Structure 1
Amino acid sequence: MITIDLDSADPLFNQLVKQIKQAIENKQLRPSDALPSIRQLAADLDINAKTVAKAYRLLERDNVIESKGYRGTFVRADAEKNIQVDIKAWLNQTLADDIEKYRSAGLTDSEIRIAFNAALSNTSSCTPTN
């Protein structure tokens, strides 16, 4: 049911995420259905297992699937409502709102970038000064 387009500009892991969400939306996958193991799906699609693992991690983060250790990976009971969540759109909007607050406080884009990079690097050099 999953096909990969190697010529697509869309990354392979993203193609997997979209197709699994679509299969849930179309009722081809239902709550509690088991998904193939990472190794099995990678072998079936002739792609790297790390690509499948990344797609599964993103789906798990979005509460679409759940891993039950050695028992496997399954579609969550509430997966259908969670497939509509667009975490990238939320992140973009949240960042845009925060940047507007910083600009309103008088910070320059350069100061915002430096603070953002420092926060990503887990450094404390982005402490506000008066």
Structure 2
Amino acid sequence: MITVDPDTQTPPYEQIRAQVVAHVDSGELQPGDRLPTVRRLAEDLGVAANTVARAYRELEQSGVIETRGRAGSFVTGDQVERKAKEAAATYLAQVTALGLTPADAVALVRHLEQHPVRSS
């Protein structure tokens, strides 16, 4: 069950996102499970539909869920792929914050693949 605590500093969309991830990680939500519609979850939680939509968008970008148009949003199946997408999204956010383009970031990864950094 997803809840929103209005007394915390954490924004509601982040609370929703984190709880869905926790439910997937714990196995409460399984691959293929359908999530409530944006409107329905917003009504249930007493938040704006845009709040739930943002949480779903971020979950989709990190590979936790996929949206199939009018069919709805579903938990994705592959934990490895999901975690890799989360890592890639984090990396992309960090390198773009440093001023790199996505193409520069990919080029850097390819360079490191050929010339790994050796730790001492």
After TM superposition, is the score higher than 0.5? yes
Which residue number in structure 1 is paired with residue 56 of structure 2?
A: 56
Alpha-carbon offset, residue 20 of structure 1: 0.2
SS in 2 for 1:77: coil
Q: What 5-or-longer segments of structure 1 have no aligned partner? A: 99-115, 120-130
- For 1:1-130, list aligned pairs within 5 A: 1-78=1-78, 80-81=79-80, 82-83=82-83, 85-86=86-87, 87-88=89-90, 90=91, 91-92=93-94, 94=95
Provide the TM-score with structure 1 as the length reference: 0.66
Aligned mates of 1:95, 1:83 — CA distance in 2: 20
SS at match of 1:42: helix
What secondary structure does 1:52 align onto? helix
**Percent sequence identity over matched residues?**
38
Show structure 1 runs of 4+ deviating over 4 A.
none
* 1:70-106 residue CA offsets vs partner (Å, 9 max, x unmatched): 111100112x332573534x233x358x5xxxxxxxx
Q: Deviations over 1:41-91 (max 9, x none)?
A: 00000100000000000111111111111111100112x332573534x23
How many residues are matched? 96
Give me the CA root mean square deviation.
2.1
| Matching residue of 2:114 | none
